[in-house]
Structure 1
Amino acid sequence: MDIALGRTGILVATVAAGLGVVSLVYSIVKESELARRQGRYFLVVSAVGLLLSSFAMEQALITHNFSLAYVVQNNSKETPLLFSITGMWSALEGSMLLWALILSLFVVAMVVVTRRYAEEKTTSWALVIAGTVLLFFVALMVGPANPFIHTVGAIPADGQGPNPLLQDYPLVAVHPPMLYAGFVGMTVPFSFASAALITGEDEGFWLQRTRSWTLLSWTALTIGIALGAWWSYQVLGWGGFWAWDPVENAAFLPWICATAFLHSSVAQQKRYSMRVWNYSLISAAFALTILGTYFTRSGVLQSVHAFSDSNLGNILIIFFAAVVVFAVALVAFRAEKMRAGRKVKTSLNRETALLVNNLLFSALAFVVLLGTTFPLLVQIASPEPVTVGTPYYDSFAGPLGLLLLFFMAISPVVPWRSSTFSEIGDRIKVPTVAMVSVLVLSVLSGEYRPDILATFALATFALTSAVYQIYRTTLSIGRKEGYLRGVFSKRNGGMVVHVGVALIAFALVSATSFGHEGEVRLERGQSAEFFGAKVTYLGVQNVVTPAKSSFEANVLVNGVGPFHPAITQFGTYTEAVGSPSVDVMFSKDVYLTINNAPNLASAHPVITIGVIIQPLISWLWVGAATMGLGAALAAFGYPQRRRKSGRRKEGGVHENLVGDPPLYGESPALSHQGYLG
């Protein structure tokens, strides 16, 4: 029943997606209203088919239907309900089903949101492009990534269960879906941007339509990446949260491009400039999600996050190449029209700051992409495996990150019109004083390392600048519209995101530069001091559940606890997995692992406990949460009130005058609104 329902749903989704794309293309060519309506309905039917398939898969996992091969490989009778549910995205085929399901829901949302513009060619072309991407992914499940394959031979009495790392922490229920939503969501702005170029529509219109879509996808991707770092920190037992792993990089790359786009798109909205930049950035963000899918699901790169080898690699890389060729061809096709836009004036103004911002983000993306793909390029010429380690990334990403912190603080105070250095200096007096104060205090406290001093100084500069901007915006809006609208205005959203980034910068440099790692050997009842943490060993215990068997230590940290670092064995997996335990404090974390279990047959059994001190690492999660809140505020906060009278033209674009008092005396029509930067 589950297999039949699942296969039927995928078949319906594939046929409906194909018919939807064909009908919409026919409606464009023949200007057929009936075909346009049918095409939109077919795309909705495709989503219904994927919902049926997802229901069938979840039912098979929850009921332990071992007639389905996927359930045998990723479930067992002892698997807890939560991890049975998350088993759908615990392996290649199920993850493709989740990917396609989320994409289909985005396409349905496009159909619903664009119902008022349904007759426009641009809208139809956007749905054609998004529908084609959906058709590609559902077609994969008809062939090489079919999740509904019947078990070969006799149906086993039990399955082997999920990968141990996927049943050791509840974040598996949130992190992958959130990351997929961020990836898949990039399809929407790419579809609208490409459609606008195909039809020759004024590109400013697609920016208005897709800014919220991009912000939504960016937020999901940001939260997904942060949750992945948290999961790695809490589960893997190495005490870290980011290792420049190829699959981590695959998620980071589209995030970089989307972040740059959210900043520079303002220049196109305000001044009709940076048009090629914006289409290139949103196309790169989408294309890199496809490349990330290739990295994860082809088996070409070794990663703790990657799925096993599959035959999807060639198909995915061909699709990635097709996307790149399509985007480049569209830019070439509309090159003359796009060059007709206003050129960036390289003077001391906001446009120049956004241009430099784009160059820095592009350089960072290039560094990460080169480091990720270099082992693959080397394999073409040599069979010897090559890896690119953390020192490579740190040596380039560190300086680029510092420059981005600087421009993150400067860009919001630079006006759109040309200005002078003295004028900018007046606007950053408060952040500069704060930065110099932190720099002096750091030196007086004995810190002389240039990289750490620079990070602390620039993070303080960026943080103070953002807080000061929030204060000014709240006052300026609050005096006329009420302070509630001022605090929760869209215009404050980007600055709240900047606050989160600054907090993350403090956490990163503190945890990586001032931490301590070691181990203590203790008998039961003994204590040991480790860089201010008193570790007391109370003994061990075995904890057995139907799903796992754990050997746990009972440990106090500064008299608080007990904490339970463990060694755990899951189901049929013979290899044990270390499970850390963390004492979370505001100023630091104390991270505990069992490095060597005691010999309980000995007269004086000794346990070796790994201890890692992580200063300010909790600020990393606070910073990520702050970024998410800022993005939500930028998307859903109070908008600026507009006057009925007055329209002015800036660089070819008409803009309504905004009623909010502008920052630093800028023209009201040019004050920034709810963007990330």
Structure 2
Amino acid sequence: AQSAVGPLFFGFIAIMFIFSAYWLNRRRADLASKNSLQSFLSREAAFLYNNFLILAILAVVFLFTNYPIISELFTGERGFVGPPVYEQALGPLFAVLVLLMGVAPLTMWFRGSVQRLGKAMLWPAVLATVAIVVMIVLGIHLWAALVGFWVVIFSMVLTILEFVKGTHARMKRGENVFVAFSNLMARNRRRYGGYWIHIGVLIMAVGVIGVELFQEETQQQLQVGDTISLGRYEMQFLGVEQRPGADDLIITEATVDVYENGRFVKTLTPRREIYTRTGQPMTIPNARSTILEDFYVLLAEQPTSPDSAIIRVFLNPLINWVWAGGFVFIFGTLIAAWPDAVEDKITAVQARRRPAVVTTGD
């Protein structure tokens, strides 16, 4: 729908951009760093690359989101950017960002060494490559998915190795593996909480790859007894039932038996609800969820007969990995942000010991 707010909002953003750019240029001498970048493989360089990537992602999203307004401004016609263009532009940027997430902890402040980084990345790269070969043997041949999984596995191995190396160092002091791991987390919460956040992002990346590249869907009008197939699943439509709900609610519910490779797994009951006073419909899908995929069914339209319905089916591989990664992300954030009682106590003691400053008048 057309809205008068769009051009005004775009104008506001343009004015704020010009205003910010002017003052950044005016104050560039004050904002300039006193230190120079001594190595392009150092940790501060990794932070700089990270910022450049985030700015590039921001620029792409901004331009594509405002493309209809920009195109209308210069050509008089509104153009649109669809999801495939977003995916093609942002996919490589996010892949490099995930790769940098795994490599950055290996870097050192103020200096870097190609030989040192190469040695640290060798075995993770080999393991990631072996995993990709296994995927190819199992039938995954989509190159974008293989590249994405290689980057995720490579970064995941590098991140896990940081936990392994830290735990192994503490075990040399005589601590068992559980005590060593617990003390490692407790003594350096910000660092290892950040690693947990990295793991959460990598798990979410697996889910995003699965949904974006392997999602399947189909839609078909079925009579009672008809079947519809999607992937290794087959569904049999058993009919539609309509019943009254609370107040003025009318519930129309379909029954579908789901089979996986010929084996019955679940009966799903998608439904549509309509409030007769307002005529407002609501579609409620029914799903079978596992760690590997979400398989859900919905009524595409309001059925007109108890013996017929238009069924729409979605198969979303690895979608629950996005949720799992989100929980790991929150877990890592709590670890990193949790206050350190010992550090707070030391700070308080130092504050009490600090001599008071007494000022006298002339």
Among 539, 542, 551, the alignment partner of 2:252 is 551
* Residue matched to 2:318: 616
Among 360, 369, 375, the alignment partner of 2:62 is 369
* Residue matched to 2:233: 533
Give the superposition deviation at 1:560. Answer: 4.6
* Residue matched to 1:630: 332
2:5 and 2:79 map into 1 onto residues whose CA distance is 23
Matched, 1:586 2:291: yes
Give the superposition deviation at 1:460. Answer: 0.5
Unaligned runs of 5+ in 2: 347-362
1:641 and 1:607 map into 2 onto residues whose CA distance is 64
Matched, 1:455 2:157: no
Among 185, 189, 192, the alignment partner of 1:487 is 185
1:574 and 1:387 map into 2 onto residues whose CA distance is 32
Kindly indicate whether the alpha-carbon contact (under 8 Å) linking 1:549 and 1:568 is maintained by their aligned counterparts in 2.
yes
Kindly indicate whether the alpha-carbon contact (under 8 Å) linking 1:498 and 1:627 is maintained by their aligned counterparts in 2.
yes
1:540 and 1:573 map into 2 onto residues whose CA distance is 23
Kindly indicate whether the alpha-carbon contact (under 8 Å) linking 2:287 and 2:295 is maintained by their aligned counterparts in 1.
yes
Residue 296 of structure 2: SS of its match in structure 1? strand
2:292 and 2:327 map into 1 onto residues whose CA distance is 18
The alpha-carbon distance between structure 1 residues 353 and 435, as it changes in their structure 2 partners (threshold 3 A), is: same
Amino acid at match of 1:471: V
Matched, 1:342 2:35: yes
Structural mapping, 1:89-488, within 5 Å: 314=8, 320=13, 323-324=16-17, 327-328=20-21, 330-476=23-169, 483-488=181-186
Matched, 1:515 2:208: no
Residue 95 of structure 2: SS of its match in structure 1? helix
Give the superposition deviation at 1:607. Answer: 2.4
Kindly indicate whether the alpha-carbon contact (under 8 Å) linking 2:240 and 2:308 is maintained by their aligned counterparts in 1.
no
Q: 1:75-118 CA deviation, whole Å, 9 max, x = no partner?
A: xxxxxxxxxxxxxxxxxxxxxxxxxxxxxxxxxxxxxxxxxxxx
Give the superposition deviation at 1:526. Answer: 5.5
Residue 468 of structure 1: SS of its match in structure 2? helix
Residue 540 of structure 1: SS of its match in structure 2? strand
2:276 and 2:328 map into 1 onto residues whose CA distance is 38
Kindly indicate whether the alpha-carbon contact (under 8 Å) linking 1:476 and 1:486 is maintained by their aligned counterparts in 2.
no
Give the superposition deviation at 1:446. Answer: 3.5
Give the superposition deviation at 1:311. Answer: 6.6
* Residue matched to 1:563: 268
Residue 316 of structure 2: SS of its match in structure 1? strand
Identity of aligned residues (%): 23
Structural mapping, 1:637-652, within 5 Å: 638=340
The alpha-carbon distance between structure 1 residues 339 and 599, as it changes in their structure 2 partners (threshold 3 A), is: closer
Q: 1:117-144 CA deviation, whole Å, 9 max, x = no partner?
A: xxxxxxxxxxxxxxxxxxxxxxxxxxxx
The alpha-carbon distance between structure 1 residues 336 and 375, as it changes in their structure 2 partners (threshold 3 A), is: same
Kindly indicate whether the alpha-carbon contact (under 8 Å) linking 2:248 and 2:277 is maintained by their aligned counterparts in 1.
no
Amino acid at match of 1:517: E
Matched, 1:506 2:199: no
Q: 1:600-621 CA deviation, whole Å, 9 max, x = no partner?
A: 27xxx22232112111111111
Among 274, 279, 288, the alignment partner of 1:574 is 279
Residue 251 of structure 2: SS of its match in structure 1? strand
1:506 and 1:386 map into 2 onto residues whose CA distance is 32
Give the superposition deviation at 1:627. Answer: 1.8
Give the superposition deviation at 1:623. Answer: 1.4
Amino acid at match of 2:97: L
Higher helix share: 1
Kindly indicate whether the alpha-carbon contact (under 8 Å) linking 1:511 and 1:615 is maintained by their aligned counterparts in 2.
yes
Give the superposition deviation at 1:328. Answer: 4.0
Kindly indicate whether the alpha-carbon contact (under 8 Å) linking 2:250 and 2:274 is maintained by their aligned counterparts in 1.
yes
1:312 and 1:381 map into 2 onto residues whose CA distance is 15
The alpha-carbon distance between structure 1 residues 571 and 400, as it changes in their structure 2 partners (threshold 3 A), is: farther
Unaligned runs of 5+ in 1: 1-298, 301-308, 645-677
Residue 519 of structure 1: SS of its match in structure 2? strand
TM-score for both structures, normalised by structure 2? 0.79
Give the superposition deviation at 1:318. Answer: 6.9
Higher strand share: 2
Kindly indicate whether the alpha-carbon contact (under 8 Å) linking 1:474 and 1:487 is maintained by their aligned counterparts in 2.
no
* Residue matched to 1:606: 308
The alpha-carbon distance between structure 1 residues 418 and 579, as it changes in their structure 2 partners (threshold 3 A), is: same
Give the superposition deviation at 1:372. Answer: 0.6
1:449 and 1:640 map into 2 onto residues whose CA distance is 51
Give the superposition deviation at 1:411. Answer: 0.8
Give the number of the structure with larger relative contact order, counting CA–CA contacts within 8 Å between residues 6 or more apart.
2
Q: 1:480-511 CA deviation, whole Å, 9 max, x = no partner?
A: 99642423522112211211221122222222
Residue 435 of structure 1: SS of its match in structure 2? helix
Residue 256 of structure 2: SS of its match in structure 1? strand
1:381 and 1:333 map into 2 onto residues whose CA distance is 30
The alpha-carbon distance between structure 1 residues 482 and 474, as it changes in their structure 2 partners (threshold 3 A), is: closer
Amino acid at match of 1:424: L
